[in-house]
Structure formats: structure tokens, C-alpha cells
Structure 1
Amino acid sequence: MWEGTRNQGGTVRRRRRSGWAAVLAVIGVVFAGAGAGPAGADPSGVGVDTVLDLQDDGSLAVTTVITAPPGRAIAQRLPLSVPVEGNRTQHFTVTGTRAENGSVSVSDGALQVSAPGGTTKVTYTVRGTVADGPELQQFTWPIAAGYTVDLDTVTMRFASPTAVPDSPLCGIGQVGERRMCTLTQTDASGVVTAQQNGLPQGRVAVFTTLLPAGTVAADARFTATAAPAPERDTGGLIALSLAAVLAVALAGYGYVRRRSDAAAAHSAGATADLLVPGGNGEIAFASPDGVLPGQIGTLLDGRLRPTDVGATVLDLAVRGYLWLAALPDGDFQISRRVPLDGAVTPAERVVVDALLPHGAETTTVSELTGGARPLDPAPIVAAVPAATAERGWLRAAPRSPLLVPAIAVAAGGAIATLVCGFLGAGVLWAAAALVLGLGLVAAALLWPRRTASGSRLAAGLGGMRQYLIATNVGSLPDGQRDVLFERAIPYTHAFGDLRGWLATWGSVPSAPLDWYRAPQGPVAGLATLAAVLDGAVAQALAAQRD
């Protein structure tokens, strides 16, 4: 693996190699900043030769010879405190500095060397290069670092009191990179030599080796390195906080709006008199906000109810546009009575055309339930909710139009959070987009389909139903009784109260209704007709879903 290395240390030594490699990597990162610059392709003519002599007392005698072309000034700055593995900083001490043809000093926590050109010889003594391990000692020293020029060659010779240094390693370190020197070898006497051909400015050559325990006095000094405090992204924190507040507010408002809408649908609003003065002194029937009986189920459920079709048929019959009759065989007849005019809404026309397609004049309920003229509910399913939405009581779409943009914001925020987390930047801003998107999604999902006016009308319909249930039939004048009875029939069917309504009024219809005939009596079988028609619609809706 490493050229010229010897492995005599066994299992412990093999485990320790990875630790020394980590030291090399860390020191390489530190010294990479000591002299940053681009690596030159042309030879500089500069070489560095270093002799390391480790003494019994743990001191390291260093002799470095810098050779450069005459007049080529060179400087070196070698930091004496470097981070190493385990969140520690290793501290070196340099004394006895001497220089020939140049200068050397220790200042600002670093060894400072200045060479004017030619041959410069620097000598000094280093303490703190040897650290004790469980069964071995570790020696570490950067043999070339912090030079202001590219080096053509770096050579080294290391001697120590032991003849068996283990795993000598000379490596070139740089941010994100670690590789071997050109050559590292150990002779029979334990002297290690190494050579690196070319060392670009900004890189560092580090020599490390293992020594038998107790080879020298270990005096390496370490201090704990405080982990750098993470940068505080104040703007990101503010954005995330605001996004969280907005998300909670949006979701909360959607929840409150949904609760109030649900409460309105199950409450009874102010009860208004359904009978109002009409033209020519007559009495007229007025529903809350002009709602038609065929719109009640859609308004309350958000989708078409089968009773919406039955209520529409009854309402058009009461208003004189359709004729209904109970047949002797138990079937029921639905026929056109007069042409539909401008008082009939487009949705009501769709219902009539679905029951009597292609201008047909009459049909029977049995034909609608799978006979010659089966009912197609698709146009009704589209028309009735659309008409209710046009009145401003429902949103046109079942889901909020904000749902798709909200999901897009949340998905974009999630992707951005993952990408920023991988890159290690801007995570809080991306998370803010994600949180805001989730709040929008929650609000869109919670938002009721009924509008505010639709919620008020739902409460008004509750009041209308209570009014019809609580009305004292005997207290009404004859004219008002007839109007209320007939006009309320389709509404009570929409509420599910038609049988009770007919039973409560008893024999009020003293004469046959002009829009319905039954052999057994004026209203006999009317509730059955409505129920059978609802069943036909429900059957058609189920077949459409299948």
C-alpha cells in the first residue's frame, strides 16, 4: 500500500494506521491555508531538504536546507498549533532557531522563515511531536508547509533511537485530498527517507510514524478544540417563524370556517314567514334567498342528492309545468303539461330533458328504472351543482382552487429542503417554504365547499324546516292554507318530511290537485311516487359510478 513501509506492529499497529492517516488529513487541511495559490506548471528551481533527528528526551532537532535560484526570495509560515483528530489541537514549541543566509523566528504562533535566494540553512529544536498511545508512540511533523512558492523537490531523512519505526508515512495533504509522497523507505538501521517530486504552493507534506512504547519521552501537548458555533441564519429563522405563524393561522382559520359551516348546516336560523303578500292582494310563497327545492340536497351535502330530482319534479308540477298521475297498475306517469318558459331555470330544464328526452311528452317511472327509457343522470349531476354554485352558495370545484398551488409550494419546499440540507446552506429558508406550503394545504383541505352565503342559507333552511314542522294548520286562513300546502310539498320532500307533511294536513285538499291525479284520493300515492322516483335516480347514479 505505502512504498517502502515496514509492518511489524501486529493488529494494534494496523488499527492505528487509520488514526495517523486522519491526522495527516487534518493537518493537511490546516496548512493548505498557509500559502494558497495556483500550482505552476514550470519548474521553480526551489528544493527543500529536511533532516529530522528525534532525541531520547523527545526533542526533535530539525535542519532544513532551502535551495533556490539567486535572487529568488522565499518565505515560509508554519503554524505551531494545528487541529488534529478527536476535536483537539496539538501544540508545538520551537526553540534555538538559527539561520544561515536568511532569517528564522517564532512570532504570531508560527515559525517564520525568510530565504533571500541561493542556499539557506535553518536549524531549530521542536518539542511536542511525540504522543503516547496504548502500546505505541506517534510521531508527527510537517516537513514542508506554508511556502510561498512551488517546490520542485522535497526530501527528508528521519532518525530516532529505535531501529524499528513502524508504518512510516509521508503524505501530501490538501482540502478534500490525501495521497502518498513519491517515495518513502526505511533502511536496516531504522532511518526513514522520503521524497516528494513537486509540492505546489498551498499544499503540505506531513511525515508521521509509529514508535515502540517508551522509545522517547513523549511531550505532545493537546488542548480541546471547541467546535465552531454554527452560523446563525437570522433571516432564515425569521422566515421560518413567520411561515410557521402563517401556516398555523391559515390552518386554524380553515378549521374554524369548516366548524362554523358544519354547525350552520345542522342549526336552525331565524324562522321567517314563508307566506308573503303577492300581486293583486294574493298570498305568495317565498323560500329563504329564493332557493329551489331541487337545490337543497346539493347545498347541504355538496353533491347531488336523488331527492333533488324528485323535489324538482314535484316543484315543476306544483308550478304547472308537469302532470303527475298514479296508474292503476301501481306505476306512475310523468308528462309535460305546458311548454317550459323563462321562469324555469336551466338546471330544471336539464332535469326535464333527462326524464323526457328528445321532446317526449310522457313517461312512466318504470321506464326510467331500466325500461324503454332509462334515466341518464350525467347531465343532472353536472347542471344542479353548477347552478347552485352560480348562485354563490357553493364553490364551483369540490376542492379549493388553492389546493394545487398549495401542494406545489409544499412539494417545492420539501425538495428545496432536501437539496439545501445536502448542500448545507439555506435550509431554514427552504423549510419556511415547506411549512407555509403545508399550512396552505391544510387550509385548502379544511375549507368547506359552501361559501359564507351558502352557510347562512343552510342555517336558513334549518329554520324553514322547523317552521314547516311547527306550523299550526288550523290557525291559517283557507287561502293561505292551500298555498302553503302545495308550495311546501317539494320542499318537505327535499327535507325528507313529505309523508309527515301530507299526514299533518290530513284532508286539507278538499278538491283534487290540478297537477296530480290518483284513484284513491287527492294526494294518495304522492309520497310513494316521490320515493320511487328517488330510487330510480339513485339506481342511475350507482350505475354511472360503476
Structure 2
Amino acid sequence: MLRVAVLLALAALVFTATPAQAQDLPVLPQSAEVTLKLQRDGSLSVTEAVSVPAGTTMTRTLPLRTSADDAHDRLLTVRDLSIEGAGSADTTEDQVTFDLRGGTSIVRYTVDGVVGRTLGVEQVTWDVAAGWDTRLELLRATFAAPNLPDALTCLAGPPGSGTPCGAAQLDHSGLTRVSVSKLAPGDRVELTAELPAGTVPANEHLVPASTLAGAFLVTTPVVAAWLALAVLLLAGIALLVVVRRRDRATALPVQLQVDGQFSSPQGVLPGHVGVLLTGRADAVDVAATVLDLCVRNYLWVTDGPALHRRNPPDEQLTAFERAVYVTVVPGESARLAPFTVEADPLADAVRRGWLSRRPAQLARAGIRGCCYGAFLTVVLAFTVGYAQLGLVVLGAGAALVLGASWLPLRTPSGTYLREQLLGLRAVLLAAEPADDLVFARVLPYALALDVPAPARSLQAYWSDAGDDAARTRAFTAALVAAAAGTRHRVGAVPPVEQRAATSA
């Protein structure tokens, strides 16, 4: 009976010791034996046997987010974690921490996400030892994979250093063996094995790194945003082509007289001609407005030349005409001299439905978009990443500014009126009105439309020059010269159209 009991006790000792003996145990206190096995599904089985001196503890922090390159971080997943011996483990989203106490502990776990693929070659990268808070006197490790590695790289020392391991090689059995002594606290031993293509599936999970390079990385949301911007740009370009084609310059035939009197198309004034034809008001438009005020008996011209108030401004005058009136003749009379009119003829044209402020509004919105995009790019670059989303907003703003600069100011009604003005110019170029009164009424429009000065005499009822054509032409030239400093606040219709070229 005693012999049977002894045999049973020995058998129990052998069977209970078998799991521990399957892993090589450390030969020195404060050392580790690590076994790595790459499974065919790409997961890495890790077994670590760690010898902890009695009365002390050893802690290892295993990060689950590691740097892959300047722009990428690698996310790892640890599962099937178990510890045999005096120790415990704490797992969070970002790391796994092992706390091992005196004696020999065996830690087993499986890691997913260690296999990457570059140019058709699988690479397995793993920190065999890293994050220990105490010195490792000796680290020995073995690595096995379904196929023999084509190349091995083993680095030891502080994270980021390029110091090769003291010993890392393949043995006769096909195992990769690594041996490093006296590893300082916080140092790491990083093993990278290049395997033949197709050995195992790649399972590396890369995410943008918390760096500037990572912040500007092209990701799925960024690609989707750029594609959305491209679609919007194509739609905007198509719309712009349609609008600009509708705004092409053509001339419509007009009647110079209706019931024996001159009738301007849609009641347009000489001061409107510039903004309708070229998108801007200049000295010619102001001079034509002054001449129109003379023809309409608001002003009287005498030799000098000098201007006199003949009738006070009334409700028949637009705000722009009133501004010109009081600027040119601030008192009862004034000698013609250089002057500056700070008024906006665009407002009246907008009120009448000929022009739109939409291009200017879109341009301002685009400028705000550029500012917001630049600000968002900086904020995202230094916070959560995806900084290219800010660049998308900036690009959208810039495209809006550029598109607005090519968007005509004219509405469909304004485009039709522009065609009528071109028709009026064609009529005036073809023949001068025979009636002096009609010809006098047309004269401001001829000046605004860049029609050459009349060759025949004109009964200027609004001037003491009478029918002196030379004095009339001299007065018109003096008006243009005096108004040369006129300011205007009208956005141009790009590309800025020339008055004569547009009306040819």
C-alpha cells in the first residue's frame, strides 16, 4: 500500500507540473522567457515566464496604440489573457498592465493587429519586452511562424532607438531566438519578421497619429468630403456656364422715337449705362449724368464753363442723380472743376431689377468660408485630426469667391436691357436724329454709350452756347475730365467688359 501511495503522489506531481514545464522558465531572478507563435489567422500567441525576486513586484505596461510611422498609429487588441502565479492584470482601452509579485509567473495572451503588409510582404512587429518598470537581467525569446522569415530585425534600447539586439538569429529548427541582457527600465526589445507573401492574412489596424502628418492624413471621411466638394464644383461650373451663356452680348433693334419723342429703353438713365454694360460706373457715366441734368433743365451751362441751378432737385431724380447734382453745383452756381462723387448707381439698378447683389454676397460668403476653413484646419490639426476637412471648407470658400467673380451682375431683365442699349448705340452710330430736341435728349446716352461727338450743330437750349457745336463738344470733354476722379463702389462683372467692345 505504501508503494502504491508513493507512485500515485509522483504521478500527480508530474501531471501538475506539465503545463509549467511547457514554457522555459527563467534561469535568473528578474528575468523573462518569452515564447511567440504566429497563428495562421494572423494572431500572435504570447507566453511570458517572468521571475520576480521575493518580496518585490515587477510591472509591465503594454500600450495598445503604438506608432507605425509619422502619420499612422497601430491599434492592437489583447484577448484570452491569463496569469499563472502571483500576479494580476488590468486592461483598459489604451493599455494592459501586468503586476507580478515574488516568484515565477506565467502570462499568456493573444494579440491581434501585429501583421502588416508592405509591397506584398507580410511584416510581424512586436515588442518582446517593453514597459517594464524594473531592470531585466536577461531576456530570452523565441518566435515561430508558419513559414521561415525572409528577414529579421531586432532592436533594443529606449523606444525609437535603432540599436540592434545582441543576439537574434534562426536556429536549426526554424525558431527565431533572441537574447538580450541587462535591459534598463522602460527600454524595449522590438522584433520585426518579414514573411513570404500569403503566409498569414494582414490584420494591422492603422489610424491617424496625433501628429501634424497624421492630422493631414487622407482618410475615408476626408476622401468623401473632397468628392462632395468636387461634385459641387462641377455642378457650380455647369450652372456658371449656363448663366454666362445667357448673358452673352447681342444687340436688339430699338425705336429711337415713340410718338415723336425720345424714349429710353425701360426708362434707363445715362448713369445706369456703365453698370449695365461693364459692371462698373466711371467718369463717363457721371459726366453723362451731369449732361442729362442739363438737358432736362435742372442745370444751365454758361461760358467758363460754369453750371447754375435752374430747377431744384425733385422726386424725379434718383439718389445717384441727386448726389451728382449737389456735388457738381453745391450752391446756386459753380465753375466746372474736378469733383468726386461718392454714390452708388448700383442701388437704383438693383431696385429696378436690372442688377443683383448676389455675386457680391456670394463673394463675401466665400471669404468667410476661407477664414473659417483656415481656422478649422488649425484647430483640427492640433486636436482631433482630420485637418483636411478644414482644407475642404477653405477650398469651397475659395471656389465660391472665384465663381462669384465670374457670375454676371445682370439679371435676365438687365441682360435684356443691355441688349436694348446695344441696339440704341447701333441706331445712334447709323444716323443722328434730325430733330434737335430729340437729338439733345439723346446726347447724354450717346456720351455714355461711347458714340462719337456729333458732327453737326445742335441747338443747345440748356446752354448759352446756342448752336455752337464746338463749344458743346468742348463742354462734354470738360465734363469727362472733371469727373475723372469719381469713386464708385460697384463690383465689376468679370472679366471686366470694355464699354466700346461690349457695345460693338
State the TM bucket, normalised to the shorter chain: 0.5 to 0.7
Decide which of 467, 470, 479 is 2:427's aligned counterpart. Answer: 467
Cα displacement (A) at 1:452: 4.0
| Residue type at the aligned position of 2:480 | D
Tell me what 2:448 maps to: 494
1:423 to 1:352, Cα distance in 2 relative to 1, 3 A: closer
- The alignment-based identity, stated in percent, is 31
Do the aligned residues in 2 keep the contact of 1:75 with 1:113 (CA within 8 Å)? no
Counterpart pick for 2:314 among 341, 348, 366: 341
Aligned to 1:360: 332
Residue 529 (1) aligns with residue 475 (2): yes
* Contact 1:324-1:335 within 8 A present in 2 as well: yes
Letter aligned with residue 262 of structure 2? F
Secondary structure at the aligned position of 2:224 is classed as helix
Larger Rg, first or second structure (1 or 2): 1
CA contact (8 A) 1:239 1:432 kept: yes
Listed as ranges, the matches of 1:199-210 within 5 Å are: 206=189
Q: 1:403, CA displacement in angstroms?
A: 2.1
Q: Which runs of 5+ in 2 are unaligned?
A: 1-28, 35-46, 70-77, 88-101, 107-125, 141-153, 164-178, 208-217, 488-504
Q: CA deviation at 1:391?
A: 3.2
User: Matched residue of 2:281: which SS?
Assistant: coil
Question: Is structure 2 residue 491 aligned with structure 1 residue 518?
Answer: no
Matched, 1:391 2:352: yes
Aligned partner letter, 1:376: F
Deviation at 1:420, TM superposition (A): 4.9
Structure 1 pair 334–228 and aligned structure 2 pair: CA distance change class (3 A): same
SS of equivalent residue, structure 2 residue 339: coil
Q: Determine whether 1:194 maps to 2:182.
A: yes
**What is the rounded CA distance, in whole Å, between the counterparts of 1:51 and 1:296 in structure 2?**
91
Residue identity matched to 2:419: A
Alignment map for 1:192-271 (pairs within 5 Å): 194=182, 206=189, 222-223=194-195, 228=204, 233-254=219-240, 257-258=243-244, 261=247, 263-264=248-249, 267-268=250-251, 270-271=252-253
Task: Summarize the alignment of residues 58-137 of structure 1 with structure 2, pairs less than 5 Å apart.
Answer: 66=51, 114-115=84-85
Q: Is the 8 A contact 1:255 1:443 kept in 2?
A: no
Separation of aligned partners in 2, 1:417 and 1:400: 26
Deviation at 1:515, TM superposition (A): 2.4
TM-score (normalised: structure 1): 0.52
* Matched residue type, 2:366: A
SS at structure 2 position matched to 1:273? coil
Paired residue type of 2:423: G
1:145–1:204 contact (8 Å) kept in structure 2: yes
What one-letter code is carried by the residue in structure 1 that aligns with 2:414? Answer: G
Is contact 1:254–1:442 with CA below 8 Å preserved after alignment? no
Q: Please give the secondary structure, in 1, of the residue aligned with 2:308.
A: strand
Alpha-carbon contact 1:75-1:115 (below 8 Å) kept: no
464-473 or 314-323: bigger deviation: 464-473
Aligned equivalents of 2:401, 2:328: Cα separation in 1: 41
Alignment of 1:297 onto 2:297: no
2:367 to 398, 402, 407: 407
Q: What's the CA shift string for 1:173-220, capped at 9, x where partnerless?
A: 6xx7999xxxxxxxxxxx996376xx7xxx886499xxxxxxxxxxx9
2:355, 2:262 → 1: CA distance? 24
Contact 1:170 1:194 survives alignment (8 Å):
no
* Cα offsets for 1:212-257 (capped at 9, x unmatched): xxxxxxxx97515869486795444333211111123324534654
The letter of the residue matching 1:534 is V
Equivalent in the alignment of 1:212: none
Q: Using a 3 Å threshold, how does the CA distance of structure 1 residues 425 and 524 change in structure 2: closer, same or farther?
A: closer
- Residues of 2 paired with 1:350 and 1:306: CA distance? 14
What is the CA-CA distance between 1:485 and the residue it aligns to? 2.0
- 2:407 corresponding residue in structure 1: 447
Question: Contact 2:432–2:439 at 8 Å: present in 1 too?
Answer: no
Q: Provide the C-alpha distance between the structure 2 equivalents of 1:305 and 1:221, rounded to a whole number of angstroms.
A: 76
Query: Within 5 A, what are the aligned runs for 1:371-386?
Result: 375-377=338-340, 380-386=341-347
Contact 1:302/1:394 (CA < 8 Å) preserved in 2? no
Is residue 275 from structure 1 mapped to residue 257 from structure 2 by the alignment?
yes
Aligned residue among 273, 279, 294 for 1:317: 294
Structure 1: gaps (5+ residues): 1-46, 53-61, 86-107, 123-140, 159-167, 180-190, 209-219, 278-282, 369-374, 475-480
Residue 463 of structure 1: CA displacement? 1.0
Q: Does the 8 A contact of 2:135 with 2:182 survive in 1?
A: no
How many Å separate the matches in 2 of 1:489 and 1:157?
Answer: 102
- Give distance in 2, aligned partners of 1:496 and 1:75: 90
Q: Which amino acid aligns with 1:529?
A: F
Work out whether residues 83 and 105 of structure 2, in 8 Å CA contact, stay in contact via their aligned partners in 1.
no
Cα distance, 1:151–1:244 mapped onto 2, change above 3 Å = closer
